[in-house]
Amino acid sequence: KTIRSHTNQSSFSRSYHRSYAMSSKERQRQECVERAKDLKGKRKAIILHGNGTGDMTDGNWYPSVRDELEAAGIPVLLTTYPDSLKARENIWIPFTINELGADEETILIGHSSGSACAMRILENYKVLGVVLVSAYYTDLGDSLERRSGYFNRPFDWDKMKSNAKWIIQFHSKDDHLVPVTEARHVHENLGTEYHEVDDCGHFQQEDMPEILQAIQSKI
């Protein structure tokens, strides 16, 4: 009985903490949406994170780039997107446009799945500029990517180019998730300002000061 009680209590505790974590993400997201209302029509950046299940406000280089841009006077909207694992187009694009208020004064910073979302947004909406990190244009033979919706039709490169004043792109030759040939194809078709490095993998490090430097060179 003691062992059984301990097991049940542990299960309850894990369930409780999972529920708390989920509600924390929801509160965080709502706070970000409220801040977006205050930034409507103002210059800002939105970080579109890669897909995953964790707290994206504390993942990879996202918080450090947010802090650097904020210190430089550029407000940043960073939150864990709804449907964060599957990153589906029919959820992410409406959230970016309708809830976070992406507009002609917005800089989109997309990483991995977030770069695919940013590129599809560019087909139909004007923004100030775009930063693509580990971008790709196919589903990479991955079923989750295939179901996201971004890759079920060709990209309209010309429309994308006409809807941003500038597009900057970063990729690493040793990216273990996105082959460099994918990034080079994006670059060739979008005419991006392309930065290719040798040893940054999928850009999952804690810092990426190159983003601030690249943006500051454009505004």
Own/partner pairs, 189-192, CB within 8 angstroms, 24+ separation: 189/137, 189/155, 189/157, 190/157, 190/160, 190/161, 191/161, 191/167, 192/132, 192/167, 192/168
Residue 195, SS3 per DSSP:
strand
Ranges of beta strands (E only) in 31-111 are: 44-48, 76-77, 106-111
Residue identified by tokens 């990479």 is 140
Residues carrying an active site annotation: 112, 175, 202
- CA 216 to CA 192: how far, in whole Å? 16
